[in-house]
Amino acid sequence: MNGSLHLDNALIWTGDPEVPRARCLTIRGGDILTHDRLDGEARVIDAGGRVVLPGFIDAHTHLLMGGLSLGELDLSGVTSREEFENAIQRRHAELPEDAWLIAGGWSEENWSGREPPDKSWLAGAGDRPVVCRRMDIHASLVNDVVLRRLDTSHDPEGGRIIRDGQGNPTGLMVEAAAWELVNPIIPKLTIERKQEALRAAMRHYHEFGVTTVMSMEDAHDLDDVFLPIRDELTLRVCVTLMDRQWPLDLTYARAFDHTDRLSIIGFKAFTDGTLGSRTAKLFEDYADDPGNRGLLVELTKDGHLDAWARLVVEAGFSPSVHAIGDEAARLVLNAFEGLDRTKPLRVEHAQQLARDDITRFQGLVASMQPLHKADDARYVTRRLGQHRLDGFFAFKGLLDAGAILVFGSDWPVVGVDPLLGIRTAASGITLDGEVFTPQHNITIEESLKAYTSDAARALGLDRTGMLKEGWTGDLIMLDTDVWPADWDPRKLGQPDAAGKVILTVSSGEVVYDAR
């Protein structure tokens, strides 16, 4: 990554308020040298008047899990029980006799009736063990072959085993029932298979213009999968460790050999589940499930969240806490109260907030996923009722309150395309093509900053997120010649209106080229 590259004849949005626009730039040694001069040794790329932006930053993903999902059965497109069962049957016929069938992406919101699936939907796999994760990864559907290997006599703390009228498991395992009962018995993949998945994940991200990610990972995968191929990383990976044990052991993170391409920036904790699975923790009952206000899980359930957050910050790391429901978010805000904010304090998702809590986000990171809104908006009125929508994905309110608003994907929960995320944040468009809660919309430039400079700030990255002299040479080129500031949110509802990435450059190296 030490060569020179000169980009000419471009419509460059730098993200730098001092020099917001440029027509050309030169990258040498991985960094932006100038916006004016042509380095005589540089490779020249003529942008042809196209839009050029800083490389996108995905501030919340599961990189290895996402890469593995590319090789699993994808049920995100099934729209009926028949399609679901046919997909299971086809996959079963393709697999070796001793392999488990692993699938993901299904949502009951995608078919009429919206009935949750049960183990009878998996009959086409015969005696093969089957695990089908819901799109939010907070619930799994398993068949009898798997259930016979589990202790289903009682619900684990922080989870539910869904049962029929006779008390028998339906096959649907929610929250800790999926994580603590099902996940540990799934056969472990080889290190080689995981490394190939990591390479595939990087290629996939570059196709969508992403040059940096904040990924939730386990320490053992860093050792076994990431570190042996560290020199191959074309994606900058900032890791938040998934170790939520208490007391928290900081030894590994403190001793880790941090580089520009791979570093540990923090730790993650959970407070609750998701709106889709009705496990996000709310102040009021779910409108479509009276008596249920969701679940508190893990450290929060056990009363350790405040001490955990304080320990992480005092150790010099960034705490990252999953909170989707309004009561869960308040618990995180309480835990962050009075903490040193030198390191970013990150509230992950923040999908549903009490109105009075929005102003408490001043100086905190609201790490959100616009494509979650595009999906959840289809059913949230049924879940919450009209009166609670003021706090649903309150992008504008959070910005007005002084929050550091950053965007990500949560891949493989939803797709990774930041351009579609920008479309959603600026237009309020849902997966059904409807405009939802437009009062929460923000501008194109605010959305771009959430995927670039503000995301870099939230991850503690210097010299990243803007096309500024002396900063890292991460950039992308779009196939459209429409200036981002002129994008019309009304047009963003059209399937191709958000544009397409045709060139991705990471530290001056072309890592994707579809010109």
HEC profile for 251-277?
HHHHHCCCCCCEEEEEEEEECCCCCCC
Q: How many structural domains does the chain have?
A: 2
pLDDT digits (tens, 9 = 90+) for 402-450: 999 999 999 999 999 999 999 899 999 888 888 999 999 999 999 999 9
Residues 181 and 87 in one domain: yes
423 by DSSP, 3-state: which?
helix
Q: Phi/psi of residue 365, each to 5°?
A: -90, 120
Residues 161 and 114 in one domain: yes
Number of Cα atoms under 13 Å in the Cβ half of residue 229: 19
Q: Is residue 192 part of a domain?
A: no
pLDDT at 482 over 70: no
Contact 52, 476 (CB under 8 A): yes
- Percent of the chain exceeding pLDDT 70 equals 95
Residues 73 and 160 in one domain: yes
pLDDT of residue 36: 77
Q: What is the mean pLDDT of the chain?
A: 93
Q: Is residue 163 part of a domain?
A: yes
- Determine the Cα–Cα distance for residues 203 and 68; give it in Å rounded to an integer: 13
- For residue 501, the cross-strand partners are 478
Measured over the CA atoms of residue 48, residue 50, residue 55 and residue 61, the dihedral's sign is: negative
Nearest to 514 by CA among 3, 504, 495: 504
Q: Which of 128, 159, 185 is the last residue of a domain?
A: 185
Q: Is residue 253 part of a domain?
A: no
pLDDT of residue 277: 87
Residues 73 and 169 in one domain: yes
Token pair of 440 as six digits? 């929460």
DSSP string, 126-192: TTS-EEEEETTSSEEEE-HHHHTTS--SSPPTTEEEEE-TTS-EEEEEEEHIIIIIIGGGSPPPPHH
What's the pLDDT band for 389 if we cut at 50, 70, 90?
A: very high
Q: Which of 185, 214, 238 is the last residue of a domain?
A: 185
pLDDT at 496 over 90: no
Q: Is residue 351 part of a domain?
A: no
pLDDT digits (tens, 9 = 90+) for 459-473: 999 999 999 999 999
**Strand 169-175 vs strand 139-142: parallel, antiparallel, or unpaired?**
antiparallel
pLDDT digits (tens, 9 = 90+) for 86-113: 999 999 999 999 999 999 999 998 898 8
Mean pLDDT value of segment 120-129: 97
Residues 88 and 38 in one domain: no
pLDDT of residue 341: 84
Q: Phi/psi of residue 351, each to 5°?
A: -70, -40
pLDDT at 327 over 70: yes
Residues 162 and 99 in one domain: yes
Residues 49 and 99 in one domain: no
For residue 36, give its domain range.
1-55+467-515
pLDDT at 201 over 50: yes
Output the domain CATH number for residue 9: 2.30.40.10
What's the pLDDT band for 346 if we cut at 50, 70, 90?
A: very high
Q: Is residue 460 part of a domain?
A: no
Q: Is residue 99 part of a domain?
A: yes
Token pair of 138 as six digits? 């907070």
Amino acid symbol at 274: T
Residues 8 and 73 in one domain: no
H or E element in which residue 395 lies = helix 395-400
Tell me the whole-structure pTM to 2 decimals.
Answer: 0.92
Residues 164 and 133 in one domain: yes
What's the pLDDT band for 1 if we cut at 50, 70, 90?
A: very low
- Determine the Cα–Cα distance for residues 486 and 319; give it in Å rounded to an integer: 37
Q: Is residue 435 part of a domain?
A: no
Q: Which of 185, 203, 225 is the last residue of a domain?
A: 185
- Determine the Cα–Cα distance for residues 424 and 436; give it in Å rounded to an integer: 10
pLDDT digits (tens, 9 = 90+) for 41-54: 788 999 999 999 99
490 by DSSP, 3-state: which?
coil
Residues 42 and 148 in one domain: no
Residues 119 and 21 in one domain: no
Residues 82 and 167 in one domain: yes
Tell me what percent of the chain is helix, strand and coil, each rounded to the nearest 5.
35, 25, 45
Output the domain CATH number for residue 95: 3.10.310.70
- Determine the Cα–Cα distance for residues 19 and 25; give it in Å rounded to an integer: 12
Q: Is residue 341 part of a domain?
A: no
